[in-house]
Amino acid sequence: MKWEGVFPAVTTKFTDKDELDIPAFLKNIEAQLAAGVNGIILGGTLGEASTLSDEEKIKLVQETVAFVDNKVPVILNIAEQTTAKAIEVADTARKNGVSGLMLLPPMRYKADDKETVAYFKAVAQSTDLPIMIYNNPIDYRILVTLDMFEELANISNIQAVKESTREVSNITKMINRFGDRFKILSGVDTIALESLVLGAHGWVAGLVCAFPAETVAIYKLIKAGRCEEAVKINRWFFPLLELDVHPKLVQNIKLAEVQAGLGTENVRLPRMPLEGDEREHVLSVINKALENRPVLPELQKELRAVPTF
């Protein structure tokens, strides 16, 4: 498995009756594959994982694995309160065909460094699946430090990090200390371009759910050394990318999916759809971007010669 390229953290689609909307979900997955993404991540924050039952998570995994049909790896996020439950989820995911795991520190309890490392090691040693550590101290309160990664470096299936500390300098620090031991994927849309320039190997993206072609284009242009073209697209994209760094990122991105024809607006309580002035503001950002959407067909054609990572 290569932890390189664009990995959409996809949203979970719901019907008006608050059930999984598999046809709408797979329509979006199809658009991601058509744009040339390099993997699919299920059950992250955007996937409203905290509201999903175990049965629903398994259903999403099974439907995605079958639909993707080995074209790209399917990754399941693990965000659990106990080590035992995390190990159980990892085992169930493996049995249902996922290619890898994205692993958060323990939920709710603010584990210290020693406890967090022990948790990561226990889950990793319970499975042969490759693992990407999700390092997001802003939202999940626990920072995975460089010293902690030093302790994890001898666990062979801990292979990557979703870098969401908001500190782009952390990419340079990781590379200086560990070389290529850990693949680094940017987890913050607004600084993904800068992260890729500094050496990040990939991008766990959010707005890709509504704008897959533009996201893939930025990644491939940077990796091809065509930074000026990537920057131009990123400037157009930036007001949209800011919708990802917001407490209501799920509602924001689902509304963007609707406007782009790639999803539904239904969210699961306690989240509620945007309304009033807040909704009108987000719609104005999305619609302005759609009206001025960059022309990518020729660009994408040119990029066919760029290796898919």
Which pLDDT value is given to residue 57?
A: 97
Name every residue whose Cβ is closer than 8 Å to that of residue 33 and which is 6 or more positions away in sequence: 68, 71, 72
Q: What are phi and psi of 7, to 5 degrees?
A: -120, 100
Mean pLDDT of the chain, nearest integer = 95
Greater model confidence, 309 or 98: 98
Q: Quick one: average pLDDT of 295-302?
A: 55
Q: Quick one: average pLDDT of 82-101?
A: 98
In this prediction, what percent of the chain has a pLDDT beyond 70?
Answer: 96
Task: Please state the pTM of the whole predicted model.
Answer: 0.94
Continuous H helices in 126-268: 137-140, 146-152, 169-178, 192-197, 212-223, 227-241, 249-259
> Residue 304 carries which DSSP code?
G
pLDDT in tens, 120-178: 999 999 999 999 999 999 989 999 999 999 999 999 999 999 999 999 999 999 999 99
Query: Which CATH number is 5-305 given?
Result: 3.20.20.70
CB-based contact 290:260 (threshold 8 Å): yes
Say if residue 11's pLDDT is above 80: yes
Total length of the chain: 309
pLDDT in tens, 248-288: 999 999 999 999 999 999 999 999 999 999 999 999 999 99
Distance CA 141, CA 29 (A): 31
pLDDT in tens, 166-203: 999 999 999 999 999 999 999 999 999 999 999 999 99
